[in-house]
Amino acid sequence: MGYDPSIVSSDPTTPEGVGNLASQAVIAYRQNDGANQLGNEIGGDGKPYSDYTYYQPVNPPDKIIDPDRWQPITFTMPDGKQITPGFLTPQWYRVKPFALESCAQFRPGPPPKTTTDDATLRKEVDQVLKYNATLTKEQKAIVEFMRDGPRSTGQSGHWLRFAQDVSRRDKHDLDQDVKLYFVIANVASDAFISCWETKRYYDSSRPWTLIRHYYQGQKIVGWAGVDGGTKEMLGDDWHPYSPLSFITPPFPGYTSGHATVSGACSKTLELFTGTDKYGFAERRRHCELTEREAGDFVMLDLPTWSGTAELAALSRAMGGYHIPIDNTVGLEVGRKLAVWSWPKYQEYFSGTAKVRD
């Protein structure tokens, strides 16, 4: 844009100085916010973003001790090396939120369990099995689009990309863009903190574990792997519609991060723009991220914010990463969080917000 990035002035009478001072204040404010970005939290191993809360999984990767609890999964990388990731940032519920009063403020009720809600849970698992065995070209494209980010920016980055579409569509000026990205980025951050508190509190399992629990030694039909199609297999060998190098995200299932963040960001975009209308479409080649041969191009319609969020949530069950309730409850939580937070953001827009501690 023609600006000189080497200017380090902190003169508040200049635009560069204001920018540098503002960024320095945010960095200082966030330096010890609970994320452990410096690796200096007591109880950690000294590595940036490492856990300092002593989380330990109940289930080892090769054995189900409790089917209602999270289980690590071993991934096979492109070079053949195997890794077994632990719970990714189990301390994230301790990160200082932006608008939330507490990380547990929107914690939902518990997920179904094999011990108390067996029929309900089995129905949820069977729905995932059905999706996995009958994925259409469009459904595969949806799973990959929502999993992709796009291009691995995750759900927060994905919704900031959607916000860019709004900026171009509505011909925003700089003031509008600053407000738009400010609110979407922060509501996504709070949604992740809220979601991780729920994940940590319930420590619930994923379809990978539940299908092996319910269908151990039994024949089922599932996705056949990188060459595509489906085949008969034992429940012990079932696999989500996902590469061997990233079978399922490495953290508990309930609630879905995709769904929670999508619910929060979609509702915020609706509140910000004054309409649920999005009106865009995504052109994707199905199978290009998961199977050996990329398929045909398909068009994914994204007419509304609410519908786009619901598609993001549904994609996680279709892909085999979540049982449906992880997604439906995640959407509800995200939307509630957004509606509750919206007045807080308006205070910043109007200049009436109180100085934060």
Residue type, 74: T
* 86 half-sphere exposure, CB direction, 13 A CA radius: 11
Region 119-148: what's the mean pLDDT? 96
Instruction: Look at residue 154 in the predicted model and tell me its pLDDT.
Output: 82
- Furthest-apart CA pair in the chain: how many Å? 72
Instruction: Look at residue 158 in the predicted model and tell me its pLDDT.
Output: 92
Region 37-50: what's the mean pLDDT? 95
Sequence-separated (6 or more) residues with CB below 8 Å from residue 319: 131, 143, 147, 240, 241, 242
Taken in order 189, 194, 200, 203, the sign of the CA dihedral is negative
Region 179-190: what's the mean pLDDT? 98
Confirm if 45 and 91 have CB atoms less than 8 A apart: no
Confirm if 1 and 15 have CB atoms less than 8 A apart: no
Q: Report the range of poorest mean pLDDT among 147-156, 254-263, 345-354.
A: 147-156
Between 60 and 155, the more confident residue is: 60
Instruction: Look at residue 207 in the predicted model and tell me its pLDDT.
Output: 98
Residue type, 220: I
Tell me: pLDDT of 151 over 80.
no
Region 6-12: what's the mean pLDDT? 94
340 — alpha (psi -120 to 50), left (phi > 0) or beta?
Answer: alpha
Q: For the chain, list the domains and their CATH numbers.
A: 70-350 (1.10.606.20)
Sequence-separated (6 or more) residues with CB below 8 Å from residue 16: 3, 7, 9
Confirm if 293 and 287 have CB atoms less than 8 A apart: yes
Query: How far apart are alpha carbons 168 and 123 in whole angstroms?
Result: 43
Instruction: Look at residue 152 in the predicted model and tell me its pLDDT.
Output: 67
Q: How confident is the model at residue 37 (pLDDT cuts 50, 70, 90)?
A: very high
DSSP β-bridge partners for residue 334: none
Beta 82-83 vs 230-234: how paired, if at all? unpaired
Sequence-separated (6 or more) residues with CB below 8 Å from residue 274: none
Share of the chain above pLDDT 90, in %: 95
Instruction: Look at residue 15 in the predicted model and tell me its pLDDT.
Output: 92
Instruction: Look at residue 101 in the predicted model and tell me its pLDDT.
Output: 96
Tell me: pLDDT of 280 over 80.
yes
Mean pLDDT score of the chain: 96
Query: How far apart are alpha carbons 319 and 305 in whole angstroms?
Result: 21
Confirm if 163 and 268 have CB atoms less than 8 A apart: no
Tell me: pLDDT of 153 over 90.
no
Instruction: Look at residue 150 in the predicted model and tell me its pLDDT.
Output: 58
Instruction: Look at residue 357 in the predicted model and tell me its pLDDT.
Output: 74
3-state helix vs strand vs coil in the chain, percent to 5:
45, 10, 45
Q: How confident is the model at residue 149 (pLDDT cuts 50, 70, 90)?
A: low
Instruction: Look at residue 125 in the predicted model and tell me its pLDDT.
Output: 98
Instruction: Look at residue 356 in the predicted model and tell me its pLDDT.
Output: 77
Classify 47 as helix, strand or coil: coil
pTM of the predicted model, to two decimals?
Answer: 0.96
